[in-house]
């Protein structure tokens, strides 16, 4: 506690800077210069990097960035500058294993390696997706009941008993407690009561997070989000999440959603920013593990070429230089009852798994609509496990992803995207089973992917 409070005091005493100067001078210009200095580039036909020297240079550029600029406080308008060796000491101490959940349902997250033969853990759910209350329980149960699933997450409740949930208002407390009650109810119904969770998703502010730090809601063996804002920014609300967890004991999941095509430029600069964000999060978020969720500035989805390249490059960079637990988010453009959703999930799961990450998702339809189901979470896990069992190397995985891109990449130019259907049109919410048409699509895509070369 004392060490962390001393660290965050620097947000009150550091150099003053405007947000505009931070974005342009500290982030954009510094990142641009580092990309040139370290000779970083990417090719669209290489979706999964296969160049150890390149990913090492990305790591060194990210390390230099965070040591050069520090982290900006949106609350105080000051910069937290790190002391010599502080960043390196923190990543050297990053957890290599982490027990999630309890009892017979507990599992161990671990730092994976590139082309690791050990199976990735499967963290299922539609994290942060706005979800009507009547769909919440059947949706999370559709994920919880899948044998391939190890851990559970969820969307956010938009209403509680008909009342809209607004950020920073007391309804956030009610919504987040309702969320946790429904999660526990679902876990009991599927006979997996001790399964680990990443929850408190119904509160954008710190209110709900603080309100569920109790064994009846979010247990010490569960995780909550501590975001790093775009780019390399913290605020007092998110720092409060960390302080609240220090003595209680929840696992801190850092979340930095770097905008690919934003302040850092294209994929190369965005990878540098993502590395720097994780390195900063070891200190500012006291991260136990990292959620890897870069976002395409125009398409949003994580299944684009550039975003998958960033995910792979960052995972490989940390595996080689600063091993830690990384969980890759999958947010496809497509929604339920579309074949494209399943092709997107397959491509993204291959890229994450072979590069050294665990799997989280699926945030179907860009995570913006309740158009996801447990079936694509099952598929995500099956694909990831097949990659590890089959021992795909980086070149083989890249060739497979290129073939999959040909089956869905057109949707990024499609007006209105490819949102698919709501959960209750793809699943029977009473029996919590997929409708025949959705199950048939899944089986057809599975056969197709098997013919492409993955023994799924």
289-300 residues labelled b (16+ CB within 10 A) or e (exposed): bbbbbbbbeebb
Query: 75 pLDDT exceeds 90?
Result: yes
CATH of 97-452, one of 3.40.50.10420, 3.30.300.90, 3.20.20.460, 3.40.50.1000: 3.20.20.460
Spatial CA neighbour of 353 closest among 321, 400, 296, 306: 400
Residue located via tokens 């949003």: 300
For 113, counting Cβ atoms within 10 Å of its Cβ (0-12 exposed, 13-18 middle, 19+ buried), the class is: middle
pLDDT digits (tens, 9 = 90+) for 256-293: 999 999 999 999 999 999 999 999 999 999 999 999 99
Q: How far is residue 4 from each of residues 248, 296, 387, 416, measured CA to CA in Å?
A: 15, 33, 40, 45
As a whole number, the mean pLDDT across the chain is: 97
Q: How many CB atoms are closer than 10 A to CB 241?
A: 23
Instruction: Provide mean pLDDT across the span 148-155.
Output: 98
pLDDT range class, residue 50, cuts 50, 70, 90: very high
- Name, in order, each residue with C-beta under 8 angstroms of 128's C-beta and a sequence gap of 6 or more: 155, 156, 201, 363, 367
pLDDT range class, residue 1, cuts 50, 70, 90: confident
The ranges assigned to domains in the chain are: 97-452
CA–CA separation, 297 and 412 (whole Å):
12
pLDDT range class, residue 128, cuts 50, 70, 90: confident
pLDDT more than 70, % of the chain: 100
pLDDT digits (tens, 9 = 90+) for 421-456: 999 999 999 999 999 999 999 999 999 999 999 999
Return the pLDDT at 283: 97
Query: 2 pLDDT exceeds 90?
Result: no
pLDDT digits (tens, 9 = 90+) for 190-233: 999 999 999 999 988 899 999 999 999 999 999 999 999 999 99
Return the pLDDT at 84: 86
Q: Contact 225/200 with Cβ under 8 angstroms?
A: yes
Q: How many CB atoms are closer than 10 A to CB 108?
A: 13
pLDDT more than 90, % of the chain: 97
pLDDT range class, residue 393, cuts 50, 70, 90: very high
Return the pLDDT at 269: 98
Query: 57 pLDDT exceeds 90?
Result: yes
Query: 242 pLDDT exceeds 90?
Result: yes
Return the pLDDT at 214: 95
- Name, in order, each residue with C-beta under 8 angstroms of 202's C-beta and a sequence gap of 6 or more: 156, 157, 165, 172, 175, 176, 178, 179, 208
Strand partners, 16: 78
Q: Contact 359/330 with Cβ under 8 angstroms?
A: yes
Return the pLDDT at 300: 94
Spatial CA neighbour of 378 closest among 324, 434, 310: 434
Spatial CA neighbour of 226 closest among 241, 209, 206, 207: 241
- Name, in order, each residue with C-beta under 8 angstroms of 415's C-beta and a sequence gap of 6 or more: none
For 269, counting Cβ atoms within 10 Å of its Cβ (0-12 exposed, 13-18 middle, 19+ buried), the class is: buried
Spatial CA neighbour of 381 closest among 145, 123, 116: 123
Q: Contact 291/327 with Cβ under 8 angstroms?
A: yes
> ω into residue 231 within 30 of 0, thus cis?
yes
Return the pLDDT at 350: 98
């Amino acid at each position: 506690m004392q060490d962390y409070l001393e660290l965050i005091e620097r947000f009150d005493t550091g150099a003053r800077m405007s947000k505009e100067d931070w974005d342009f001078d500290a982030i954009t210009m510094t990142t641009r210069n580092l990309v040139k200095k370290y000779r970083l580039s990417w090719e669209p036909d290489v979706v999964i990097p296969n160049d150890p020297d390149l990913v090492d240079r990305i790591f060194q550029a990210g390390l230099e960035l965070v040591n050069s600029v520090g982290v900006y406080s949106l609350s105080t308008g000051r910069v937290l500058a790190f002391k010599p060796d502080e960043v390196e000491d923190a990543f050297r101490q990053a957890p290599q294993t982490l027990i999630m959940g309890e009892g017979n349902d507990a599992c161990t997250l671990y730092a994976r390696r590139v082309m690791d033969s050990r199976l990735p853990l499967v963290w299922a759910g539609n994290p942060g997706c706005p979800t009507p209350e009547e769909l919440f329980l059947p949706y999370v149960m559709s994920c919880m009941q899948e044998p391939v699933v190890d851990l559970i997450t969820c969307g956010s409740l938009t209403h509680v008993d008909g009342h809209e949930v607004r950020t920073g208002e007391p309804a956030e407390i009610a919504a987040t407690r309702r969320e946790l009650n429904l999660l526990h109810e679902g876990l009991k119904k599927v006979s997996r009561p001790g399964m680990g969770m990443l929850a408190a998703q119904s509160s954008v502010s710190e209110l709900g997070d603080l309100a569920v730090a109790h064994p009846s809601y979010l247990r010490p063996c569960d995780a909550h989000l501590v975001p790093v804002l775009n780019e390399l920014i913290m605020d007092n609300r998110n720092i409060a999440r960390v302080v609240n967890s220090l003595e209680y004991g929840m696992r801190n999941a850092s979340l930095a959603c770097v905008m690919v095509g934003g302040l850092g430029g294209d994929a190369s600069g965005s990878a540098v920013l993502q590395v720097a964000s994780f390195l900063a999060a070891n200190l500012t978020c006291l991260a136990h593990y990292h959620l890897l969720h870069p976002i395409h500035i125009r398409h949003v989805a994580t299944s684009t070429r550039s975003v998958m390249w960033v995910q792979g490059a960052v995972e490989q960079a940390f595996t080689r230089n600063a091993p830690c637990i990384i969980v890759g988010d999958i947010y496809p453009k497509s929604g339920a009852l579309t074949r494209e959703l399943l092709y997107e999930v397959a491509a993204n799961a291959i890229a994450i798994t072979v590069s050294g990450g665990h799997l989280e998702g699926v945030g179907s339809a860009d995570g913006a609509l309740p158009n996801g189901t447990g079936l694509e979470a099952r598929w995500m896990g099956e694909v990831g496990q097949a990659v590890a069992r089959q021992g795909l190397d980086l070149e083989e995985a890249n060739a497979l992803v290129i073939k999959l891109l040909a089956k869905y990449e057109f949707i990024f130019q499609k007006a209105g995207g490819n949102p698919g259907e709501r959960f209750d049109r793809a699943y029977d919410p009473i029996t919590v089973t997929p409708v025949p048409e959705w199950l048939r699509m899944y089986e057809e895509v599975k056969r197709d992917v098997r013919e492409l070369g993955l023994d799924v």
